[in-house]
Chain A
Amino acid sequence: MAAASASFAPTALPTPTGRPSFARRLFANRSFTIGLLLVGTVAVLALLAGVIAPFDPLKGNFRARLVEPNAMYWMGTDHFGRDILSRVLFGARISLQIAFMVALITALAGVFIGATAGYFRRLDNPIMRVMDAFMAFPSIILAIAISSVLGASVTNVIIALSIAATPHTARIVRASVMVVREMEYVEAARALGAGHMRILLRHVLANAMAPLVVRVTYVFAVAILNEAVLSYIGVGPPPPAPTFGAIIANGRDFIIAAPWITVAPGLAILVSVLGLNMLGDGLRDVLDPRMAVATR
């Protein structure tokens, strides 16, 4: 209950004791810490791919085709003699970049659309009807169709995945904006003569951030999975780009002779997505204590 009294304290006073700081609560959460560790490891490996990758991910070696994992090729080689470890490292770079851009664009578009619908009552119905229509398509199918229609490229994959993920994000932002909109401090700001823009940015959005942050973490995770699906099907970034999905698609034809080609990138996806999901769970528990009671 110490936290409740904190809201009456003037802001000039130091943070009242009794409730640990936000960062401290985050790092006390096991799910968040493990998730951060997993995601951090993958991200660092992806960033350092150029330095630590033992081979060129695109260059084949015909004397070392379909080599089993050994001391030289830790994850074996594919049918062109390309080193799988190097391809997975560089693949992580492309796949994470795409997923990061999707999360960023989805967050921006979701905030813009959701806040407009939630704040301006008159626009709510038309905007949300359109969002509902987009949500009627299974999101992966919508992404596949858009990517195929636009043509395979990194940019188009980002566009396709963002379009598929935005409606749900907008709906989440709208829901929390609608709650915050009715708060007394928003009314107070309005009474003081604050304009729509100021109220939206300073008061409404700032207080509707928590669900958005959690959602965007999951969007990031799903974007990694869906990008892999697009690449696997053949509407992802064009070859020879080593994305996770493209490496798996390559390995599919050699699943009996060289299962390692398929296994390694899949595990990389699993670790990245698992990390992001745990990060999201941890954030949700800390940002929304009501949920935490139920899921701890």
Chain B
Amino acid sequence: MGRFVLRRLLASIPALFLVSLITFGLLWLVPGDPASIFLDTSATAEELARVRRELGLDRPFLIRMGEWYLRLLQGDLGTSLLLNRSVTSAIFERLPVTLSLTALAFFFAVLIGVAAGVVAAVRHGKAADQGMMTLALLGLSIPEFWLGLVLIWSVAVLLPIFPAGDYVAFAKDPWQWARHIALPTFTLACVQMGFVARMARSSMLEVLGQDFVRTARAKGLPEPYVVLRHGLVNAMVPIVTVMGIMVGGLLGGAVVIEQVFSIPGMGRLIIGAVLSRDFPVIQGGLLFLALIYLGVNLLVDLLYAVIDPRVRLE
């Protein structure tokens, strides 16, 4: 196991290099002069020169790239043009909010999605199955940000059950935190819930059709035990493998959902930067999300190797 972990860690180094290269190359895609795109036409020559210097545009490409990597290794992602502060500290300030939203949505998506998938598989072809799968398909097809707006309109404005947005820190008031995070979590979880439910159902159907399940039933084991112990445990393997992909979808969704519910997380930071062309923050945010995603996938791979020892030998 130790060797597998080491090998997997070494294998992620080229990925990290390429990811940072893509992030760095983003500035290169800007048509024209990034400095003058950030500033408006009324900017003076001195201001332009200052922003160019901050973005490193006054130096040759390779030198700039070398500097970017040197600073990156020290955890320095540059300075925000707009906020005039370190990108890393701005991100770290907002990271906990985004991560808690993503983690909560992940938890509920897996919990409810798997439960729905199992019920649908057990009631294969019945009304419960069709109902669940219709809901899952709707969940997959609904635009997240729109669902958020409709929820704000229906259960925050028409029926004021939930607050219409904003965020309260857990440490400050746990009850208010829960009330504020409920709608964004549900909105974010919806798509992934549909995804998990469909995966869980087809995976369960495949497992429940296997010989060892028939044997378990023939032995006279109680049906819930067969479904959960023999069925679900084996059906979870393909679900675990897509968990990494799910986290990518959730992080992306969180960025948009934060915007809808006015939650001060990384999403609002990134979108604010996108709208004002604050390039260092765009790059930093992008790199950070990719790092989280790579980290989660590493974790999933290790988890997978624990569940299925054959993976370690490959």
Binding site for B on A (CB under 8 A): 129-130, 132-142, 144-146, 148-151, 221, 225, 228-229, 232-235, 248, 251-252, 255-256, 259, 262-263, 265-266, 269-270, 273-274, 277-278, 281, 291, 294-295
Contacts and interface: CB of A to CB of B under 8 A. Distances in A.
A133 B293 contact: no
Interface string B104-142: 000000000000000000000000000000000110111
A172 B142 CA distance: 25
Contacts of B30: 149-150
B1 interface: no
Contact of B153 (A135, A259, A270): A259
B146 A262 contact: yes
A269 B146 contact: yes
Contact of A149 (B21, B142, B150, B282): B282
A140 B206 contact: no
A236 to B, nearest CB: 12
Interface string B140-173: 1111111101101100010000000000000000
Interface of B: 14-15, 18-19, 21-22, 26-27, 29-31, 37, 137-138, 140-147, 149-150, 152-153, 157, 198, 201-202, 205-206, 248-249, 251-253, 255-256, 259, 270-271, 274-275, 277, 279, 282, 285-286, 289-290, 293-294
A225 B248 contact: no
A141 B144 CA distance: 14
24 contacts: A129-B14, A130-B18, A138-B252, A138-B255, A141-B255, A141-B270, A144-B271, A145-B286, A149-B26, A150-B30, A221-B141, A228-B143, A228-B145, A233-B259, A233-B274, A233-B275, A235-B275, A248-B145, A248-B146, A262-B149, A269-B146, A270-B141, A291-B202, A294-B205
A248 B142 CA distance: 14
A205 B248 CA distance: 30
B150 A266 contact: yes
Main secondary structure of the interface of A (DSSP, over half): helix
B29 A136 contact: no
Main secondary structure of the interface of B (DSSP, over half): helix
A129 B253 CA distance: 25
Contacts of A256: 153, 157
A129 B18 contact: yes
A148 B251 contact: no
A144 B268 CA distance: 13
Q: Which of A132, A133, A233, A248 has the most CB of B within 10 A?
A: A133
A137 B26 contact: no
Given A139-B252, A141-B285, A228-B145, 7 more contacts: A129-B18, A136-B19, A141-B270, A233-B259, A266-B143, A273-B140, A277-B137
